[in-house]
Amino acid sequence: MSAYKRVVQLGFNAYSSSIVNRVGHRQISQLVKSNGKRAFLVDTLALVRSLEAQGVPSKQAEAITSAITEVLNDSLENVSQSFVSKAEMQKSEMLQEANLSKFKSEVKSSQVLIYTLNKKLSGKEEGRNLYVDKERGEEDESGNDKSCINGEL
């Protein structure tokens, strides 16, 4: 693992210290997304030449450059899969807001229904209580009449 770290560090140091104004054709490695936007560019020729200037054999310099480019490609691909676009995020937010609004509306409807049912039930209960009180009053009156008839005053 430490050898890998040294290779990567050596590669990045070589890349960062490369001479920009070189004469000749340069090969540039690039990761291009399916929508055509470039994610990053690596000047592989400059990186290879910089490694060679530091005493790394040509084949090894090419292999190191290839490995670095592949790691960058894989890392960027993994990172890009963990993000969502702004449009997707806005769509998700709008959907959540719509669901929340629908839920609030359902809760309010339920509360109105419960309130209405409670009013009806309490009205029926009051009616029943009046009826029961009236019946009790009649029973008391008829009970008093019977006791008078029996002479139990």
Domain count, the chain: 2
pTM above 0.85, yes or no: no
Same domain? 61 vs 89 = no
| DSSP labels, the chain | -HHHHHHHHHHHHHHHT--S---S---EEEEE-TTS-EEEEEEHHHHHHHHHHTT--HHHHHHHHHHHHHHHHHHHHHHHHT---HHHHHHHHHHHHHHHHHHHHHHHHHHHHHHHHHHHHHHHHHHHHHHHHHHHHHHHHHHHHHHHHTT--
Structural domain boundaries enclosing 139: 85-153
Same domain? 106 vs 77 = no
Count Cβ atoms within 10 A of the Cβ of residue 73 and give its class: 0-12 exposed, 13-18 middle, 19 or more buried.
middle
Same domain? 43 vs 114 = no
Same domain? 106 vs 142 = yes
Same domain? 22 vs 89 = no
At residue 123, does pLDDT exceed 80?
Answer: no
**Residue ending a domain, choose from 50, 66, 81:** 81
At residue 2, does pLDDT exceed 90?
Answer: no
pLDDT confidence bin for 121, thresholds 50/70/90: confident
Same domain? 76 vs 91 = no
**Residue ending a domain, choose from 37, 55, 81:** 81
Same domain? 111 vs 147 = yes
pLDDT tens-digit readout, 4-38: 555 555 555 544 444 333 334 444 454 444 444 54
Same domain? 9 vs 71 = yes
**Residue ending a domain, choose from 81, 97, 132:** 81
pLDDT tens-digit readout, 48-99: 999 999 999 999 999 999 999 888 888 888 888 888 889 999 999 999 999 9
Same domain? 66 vs 126 = no
